[in-house]
Amino acid sequence: MSIQVRLQKTLRSKKRSFEMNIDFQSDDSFTVLFGPSGTGKSMTLQMIAGLQKPDQGFIAVGDRILFDSSSGINQRPQQRSIGYVFQDFALFPHLSVEKNVAFGLRKKWNPFLHTRDRLRIAKVLVMLEIESVAAARPAELSGGQQQRVALARALVTQPDLLLLDEPFSSLDRPLQEKLRRQLDDIHACFHIPVVMVTHDTCDVRALGKTVVTYHNGRISTIQKKQKLNHKTCETRKLQFYTAHA
């Protein structure tokens, strides 16, 4: 699925202004936005998700136009079918792991979940190895567990696109390596295109297929890496999707 992003935005504060002029397209399954902090990477994710509005631009995922300033298209975040894992994970501290994961499936007019939704939640908890802490609250979890809860919450809605903002930055190196492998396996199972923000070259080497390098609000380079061979996981994917067949 292709992702097209053309964005212009000026960010102003009392002391400075910052001009963003971003233009990239990727047909790869895993796109990494790479570069130092303060170059506009996270703001790009927020504009893709609809949490921030570009001054001008165009955003499309596959054949769906999410934003087009020239024709007045600006889909609401709820309409965009995008999963978002924030840098601080943004878990609800008063809810259990299971209820955090279920949050995106609940409807305002009907707080009760369908049986197939409950099965879907159970499957993704097992896949991410957090079923044993389903009743715990975020404060009781390790950083790695919190990261997996945030990822489960994003995946359970079956989004068309998954956005990850520095997902490993707060974790120690051994845990980062473990979760990179796990994320690679999950990505191979669900075939959801990913756009990930990072300033860590290890993320780029392990995960990036298209690497978009940022510098001062602009793109300095776009590089494509050879596609890696992922191990198959059709059985696990079938188990997950059977939950709501």
- The Cα–Cα gap between 243 and 79 comes to 23
Enter the pTM of the model: 0.85
Question: Where is pLDDT greater, at 117 or 9?
Answer: 9
Domains of the chain, with CATH numbers? 3-242 (3.40.50.300)
**Mean pLDDT score, 80-93:** 91
- DSSP-assigned letter for residue 187: H
Sequence letter at residue 8: Q
Chain segment 148-178, per-residue pLDDT in tens? 899 999 999 889 999 999 988 777 787 788 8
Q: In sequence order, which residues have a C-beta less than 8 Å from that of residue 137 and are 6 or more positions away?
A: 93, 94, 95, 96, 97
Least confident of 50-54, 90-94, 201-205, 222-226: 222-226
Read off the tokens for 206: 């392990």
Chain segment 26-67, per-residue pLDDT in tens? 999 899 999 999 999 999 999 999 999 999 999 999 999 999
- DSSP-assigned letter for residue 105: G
Contact 83, 192 (CB under 8 A): yes
Mean pLDDT of the chain: 86
